[in-house]
Structure 1
């Protein structure tokens, strides 16, 4: 399995909400499969201070071999990796759009995006099946009586691509937690959507999302549930669905995109490792 690795240069930066920047990149190389499915995940490699572009190992057929080569780069030169969802590929081009949540200078990705301008360069690794779910979304949604997608603003790019891939006749419920009303985005789909926006307005991240699950009366029938966002909130919601609502673990695709008060550079917790084991085992 070849792991795509390329440099990507900023060609456009737009604020689509006050706290979200949509950045268009021109990739030097881009397989035809990129942009051909929803919820495609990539790793962006951010340069260290003083570097015009990150130091990247060459593309390899062995993804783990590439990662070992990445780790072999001296720490002072090694790029910082962060996971993102491809929002869109412009048809017939090597241009891809990626949305960045702007939450200040506390993390390397948001800090970089705040200052991004045309000509800036990153590394892009993937998309790869290694980063995706064990069951394709379209297949799981088609087998369910209804679909529920829930997450915070970091999940919006993935949610937008997922609902955009749903066919007519599918019932899909969306519960999306954002900072405030200004962070809402338009979502296009052929499916029958019921969208509920949850505005934090100062509440703790994930609190409103967990609350709406506890208070809601879920439809009857067999669902397929897609969850993403702050890891603690996602974990609590999944536990509630399985233990209190009787939803099968196999019917829940879940990902903790970020951790409250921890970064991706911090060591995984015991709960993080347990989540990873369950995902790798097919939920």
Structure 2
């Protein structure tokens, strides 16, 4: 497991989402309700996941929180400030690593210094420390084409976090990775988060990732999306790279899968009268 430094005081900001909705093409013949009224309060330094089926509005909600997409109604505040436009004091990552092919891993990370006009020396030292923490020293001078998918995604996470933003928004950042690599990168993300404890809004389809990373989980319904249940996850940190043997982990995961079955998102195989498969 990746070594995790002792957690410091949180640098995160609160996120308040009140009765937020999204309707595409409002008033037109092609009107589409993507999101029913959604409300949630996220405390500074919390790691919160939103888990739900494809098309339920998870990513739409995240983009509205980031100010990258307008909302149809409701209000969103970060640190007590209403989000009226793109909120720049965040770190954001998507499923695609979006590294620049012509820059090395370190230079991709230091792009934050160029864009935000930050002290490049300070960020370079911080980045190198993060590379060491994640056992990525060999990737420092490599270009994206020379790295594995897992290495590229970890470099992307370092770039997202290196300027120590108070809020992280992560939209399926492990989606393109194989199962074993996902486990490692999930552990690496927790290690990076524990450095300064920014507030995290994590979007995922994976129940295991949500339980493995979160303080709280919001479960969403199929489209149009709404919050079905809020679940507090009481598991110690740092969490082991494999949670498969944990009874508590299994109970959380089974509960969420049961919710998806109740909503018709998952369907079991009905037995026949003789006890065989239908």
TM-score with structure 2 setting the length? 0.29
Tell me: higher relative CO, structure 1 or 2? Use CA pairs within 8 A at least 6 residues apart.
2
TM-score with structure 1 setting the length? 0.29
Considering fraction of residues, name the structure with more strand: 1
Considering fraction of residues, name the structure with more helix: 2
